[in-house]
Amino acid sequence: MSTVRTPWLNNYGDIPAKLEYKTGTMWEAVADVAAEYPDYVAYAFMGRQTTYQKFARDVAACAKSLKKIGINPGDRVTICMPNCPQTVIMFYAVNVVGAVANMVHPLSSENEIAFYLNESKSIAAITLDQFYGKFAAIRSRVNLANLIIADVKDALSPLMKIGYSLTAGRKIPKVPDDAPVIRWNDFIRMGRSYTGEYKVKRDKLDPAVILYSGGTTGITKGILLSNLNFNALAAQIIATNPVFRPGDSMLAVMPMFHGFGLGVSIHSMLANGGRCILVPRFTAESYARLIIKYRCNFIAGVPTLYEALLRQSVMDGADLSCLKGVFSGGDSLSVELKKRFDRFLADHNASVKIREGYGTTECVTASCLTPLHLAKEGSIGQPFPDTYYKIVAPGTEDEVPYGTEGEICLSGPTVMMEYVNHPEETAKTLRTHSDGLKWIHTGDLGCMDEDGFIYFRQRIKRMIVTSGYNVYPSQLENILDAHELVQMSCVIGVPDPLKIQKVKAFIVLKPGYQPTDENREIIREYCRKNIARYAMPYDIEFRESLPKTLVGKVAYRVLEEEEAAKRAANAAAKPAETVSADEKPEVSETDATAPATVR
């Protein structure tokens, strides 16, 4: 049996290489904290605070109601909710009764919701009143015995409840009185008459949560995760952030249907005595105001959120000395954006810098993070305790030398159980190597240096192949984002009959700059000086904004689909398309000798 290389342990400092994990369920981990810190605030929502003691009572009441409507161990319960108290209560109550929480984005389409319900075989679901219409439209297509309808105002203080009813609440269509649903307050009351045992004994390795992701193949799949997966993550987050203290607050804007939001912003906080500031919806401006209002200790977000925060005038003069941790994940953080945001933090009295992490939903969320005491430009950090990384030649299990690019593989206590209903995909992604460990083959390209720092390059499937050369969009985006005119960029590959693919760049200009031919030429000239000829964008398209996914990542696939639609339309209008001179493949000394995309 071969051994696993662990060069990062030489740079761990005071972080332990091995951790002890809770042997029970997710809720048992939180319940232990509630017993130790009953009067600490578990979460705050729209100005209303709930202590751990009250939170524990609410979870128990909800668990009894779940038993009352017939939820049994192993059943799937869909939670299609934003970040609000009912979401958190239901999530842990499902865990108490031994069922599995199926987490779904409430802004999903009707067909997507039907897919999630059927794929998970959910027999009950909870959603907000404003999303009732989607469920009503698909009720006949799914086997849903119970639909629970919650209302945001039920979680508000009396004064806020009045204000909500007069403003946002007035815009929500009324759920019919005879609708086949159970209202949240009625649902909670049902549990009062339940006299049986509602706590179900479950093990750390029992299934607890289903999250959805495109996985390593781009096809939406449910990812089954265990109690241990979440409890291990909670321990790892605190171990790599020794500045954390019970009572510290986390601004929980990342949604609970996503591993980043659920694992880092919610469970890692609640399992360690933290305080979650629940935010059901936000804009960059409201996000900025919340940081200032609550003087949060920890914030987590995707790069586009931090980029937007830089442009918020409300942050002028703000004191951010309260921050202990700023985490970026979910998408690649460009070197230029990191520099800009670090300057922003320093200018606002923060003693910390933004720390990039990396992970996949197949391991809940982050599995490596930039250390507090050591950082390397362009790196996504080092593996968490008890977590192993290796770089292998794509399509194999053969580890490559340090500094050599290959597929990122990871192993550890947060690795998923399986893809729901997809055994073949599970077998392709989750493999046991000769070292005896189970490894996730992420489908991401990267490399590891001799110190154990990991460098993310690109999704393997996103890599552009042009005239026989490999081009990495994230590298080009780093270069473009560093230009003084550019706010953000996205690079894609466009099919080409001669080059296989050619490079196209979409650019959002900084405020004050116009999408003129002159500015396009300025950027082209900059590209000529910084990018090899074979990787040069053949087209630069200015956009007012870039499409985003439901969690705020730049949706490059949408841009690819738009380009494909344009090509199809052009082909229909002009079947005998000719190739212009400037689109012919360029073979030159520069191309032949350039060792990489960036010169």
Q: What is the CA radius of gyration of the chain?
A: 25
Residue 502: pLDDT over 70? yes
Closest residue by Cα to residue 81 from 129, 119, 141:
129
Q: Which of 16, 26, 39 is nearest to 238 (CA)?
A: 16
Give the chain's mean pLDDT: 90
Q: 251-260, 376-385, 565-574, 578-587: which range is least confident on average? A: 578-587
Tally the C-alpha atoms within 13 A of residue 526's C-alpha that lie toward its C-beta: 18
Residue by residue, DSSP assigns 381-418 as: BEEPTT-EEEEE-TTS-PBPPTT--EEEEEESTT--SE
Q: Tell me the CA distances in angstroms from 50 to 41, 264, 463, one per residue in order.
A: 6, 20, 47
Closest CA to 475 of 497, 451, 445: 445
Q: What is the pLDDT of residues 505-514, one digit of tens each?
A: 999 999 999 9
Q: How far apart are the first and last CA of the chain?
A: 42
pLDDT at 571: 81
- What are the φ and ψ backbone dihedral angles of 224, each rounded to 5 degrees? -90, 125
Residue 355 has pLDDT above 50, yes or no: yes
Q: From residue 313, how far is each of 284, 303, 329 by CA, in Å? A: 11, 19, 24
Mean pLDDT over residues 112-133, rounded?
95
d(Cα 442, Cα 102) in Å, to the nearest integer?
23
Alpha-carbon torsion 227, 228, 229, 230, what sign?
positive
**307 within 8 A of 487, measured Cβ to Cβ:** yes
Greater confidence (240 vs 591) lies with: 240
Question: What is the DSSP track for 113-149?
Answer: HHHHHHHHTEEEEEEEGGGHHHHHHHGGGS--SEEEE
Going by pLDDT thresholds of 50, 70 and 90, the confidence category of residue 214 is low
Choice among 62-71, 162-171, 215-224, 430-439 with the minimum mean pLDDT: 162-171
Mean pLDDT, range 525-538, rounded to an integer:
88
Query: What pLDDT score was predicted for residue 278?
Result: 96
Q: Identify the CA nearest to 496 among candidates 469, 461, 528, 523.
A: 469
Query: pLDDT at residue 166 above 70?
Result: no
Q: Residue 126: what are its φ and ψ, rounded to 5°?
A: -130, 140
All domains in the chain, ordered by first residue:
18-445 (3.40.50.12780), 463-593 (3.30.300.30)
Q: How confident is the model at residue 298 (pLDDT cuts 50, 70, 90)?
A: very high
d(CA 359, CA 454): 11
Q: 121-125, 159-163, 222-226, 401-405 — which is least confidently predicted?
A: 159-163
pLDDT at 598: 29
